[in-house]
Amino acid sequence: MASSQGKKRISATSNEQSLITRVSRSVSQSPIVHQSKRAASDAAFVLKKLIRSTGKAAWIVGTTFLILVVPLIIEMDREQQLNDLELQQASLLGTPK
Amino acid sequence: MATALNVPPTAPVTTPQQMKKEEEKVDYLNLPCPIPYEEIHREALMSLKPELFEGMRFDFNKGLSPKFSLSHSVFMGPMEIPSQSSETIKIPTAHYEFGANFIDPKLMLFGRILTDGRLNARLKCDLTENLTLKANAQLSSEPHMSHGMATFDYKGKDYRSQFQLGNGALFGANYIQSVTPHLSFGGEVFWAGQHRKSGIGYAARYNTEKMVATGQVASTGLVALSYVQKVSEKVSLASDFMYNYMSRDVTASFGYDYILRQCRLRGKIDSNGVAAAFLEERLNMGLNFILSAELDHSKKDYKFGFGLTVGE
């Protein structure tokens, strides 16, 4: 370990840039890393937009459903209850209807 | 072959002949009288254009005699002021309206007066059996906002014609004729002297017992088509398409109309991003509870109203 550190120290002192710097720079400045960073930021941007538009669509669909469909369900249910009550009363009292 | 039988009537009463599936020859001399020209879109309008309102509404109708009745109405809520910018300006207003109605088979009088100084009066009178006079007037305390209109209707055997006169040199005439038992065609012309505009329009209506389809074209640029289907005796569905070829404005809307025993529910959705619903619920004999909702998603303008109607 000491020898490898020593070797690195020797190479560090001998060149302008140290080996670690050169290696890390070659990794971080490579085109692949640039592209993948751009792709990741694009993906994050698209994902944020998608979530926002899904949220907006869900809000619109939800409130429209609440206005158009919920009263209908409630009223149809009441109608059904009224029908059942009448049917029951008709069968109990024997009204010829 | 069978001779000409009775034509299937478009009135609600069905004759026994219609029940049998016999071959019927259409009697072209015996066609039914068509619907008045201005009511040609009646079914579609009833389903798709309920009286949506915002705020609170209370109506009380009291009958003083079989022919005469009074009505009191209170409304409190925001009223929209048309503004030049895209923002809608709403001003809270409240008014009370007093009205009187006289209804007779030959004469009908109707008057309303509001606390903000507007008077609304309507008259419908049967001058002879086929000739009817209808007049309405709106007087207002603001200058140049009052107008009146008189209409003479003549009802023939299978046609109707109408002549209209309004203030500000407004003249109009229309005519509608039944062509087959289900189909009727009509046309109208009008001339407005104040704005120096004139126009001509045509309309057609096809109705069976289950559906009504109408179309209307006018030289003011309006093309309107509508279709109403009666899915069952309680439910009907309606759709409407309006296109203005001058201003390139298109609107399509779909709606439903449920008439149940305890309530009447109408809902509609529009291509302008507007969803609206109107519910009239019968709480008791002569007591109706009204709820109205309108969501405009494109302008983000939401209006809700509730009200109560007392009386027949």
User: Which segments of chain B does DSSP mark as H helices, in order?
Assistant: 16-19, 42-48
Q: How far apart are alpha carbons B208 and B230 in whole angstroms?
A: 10
Question: So what's the pLDDT on residue B180?
Answer: 87
Q: How far apart are alpha carbons B80 and B92 in whole angstroms?
A: 9
DSSP assigned state of B182? S
Contacts of A63 in chain B (CB under 8 A): 275, 295
Question: So what's the pLDDT on residue A5?
Answer: 53
Question: So what's the pLDDT on residue B22?
Answer: 45
pLDDT at A12 over 70: no
Q: What is the pLDDT along chain B (312 residues), one digit of tens a residue?
A: 444 444 444 444 444 444 444 446 767 777 788 888 888 888 788 888 899 999 999 999 999 999 999 999 999 999 888 777 777 788 899 999 999 999 999 999 999 999 988 999 999 999 888 899 999 999 988 888 888 999 999 998 888 999 999 988 889 999 999 988 889 999 999 998 888 888 999 999 998 889 999 999 999 889 999 999 999 999 999 999 999 988 888 999 999 999 998 899 999 999 999 999 999 999 888 899 999 999 999 988 899 999 999 987
Question: So what's the pLDDT on residue A14?
Answer: 56
Q: What percent of chain B has pLDDT over 70?
A: 91
Instruction: Give the three-state DSSP class for B240.
Output: strand
pLDDT tens digits, one per residue of B32-61: 888 888 888 887 888 888 999 999 999 999
pLDDT at A9 over 60: no
Q: How far apart are alpha carbons B211 and B229 in whole angstroms?
A: 4
Q: How far apart are alpha carbons B164 and B191 in whole angstroms?
A: 10
Contact between A75 and B295 using a beta-carbon 8 Å cutoff: no
Tokens of A6: 């020593």
Contact between B260 and A79 using a beta-carbon 8 Å cutoff: yes
Interface of B with A (CB under 8 A): 256, 258, 260-263, 265, 267, 269, 275-277, 279, 281, 291, 293, 295, 297
Do the bridges between strand B287-296 and strand B301-310 make them parallel or antiparallel, or are there none, so unpaired? antiparallel
Question: So what's the pLDDT on residue B12?
Answer: 41
Contacts of A68 in chain B (CB under 8 A): 267, 269, 275, 277
pLDDT tens digits, one per residue of A13-62: 556 778 888 888 888 888 888 899 999 999 999 999 999 999 999 999 99
Q: How far apart are alpha carbons A91 and B34 in whole angstroms?
A: 46
| Residue B204: C-alpha distances to residues B176, B183, B218 (Å) | 9, 7, 12
Contact between B275 and A78 using a beta-carbon 8 Å cutoff: no
Residue B42 Cα, gap to closest chain A Cα (Å): 22
| pTM of the entire predicted model | 0.79
Query: Can you name the residues that pair with B74 across neighbouring β-strands?
Result: B58, B96
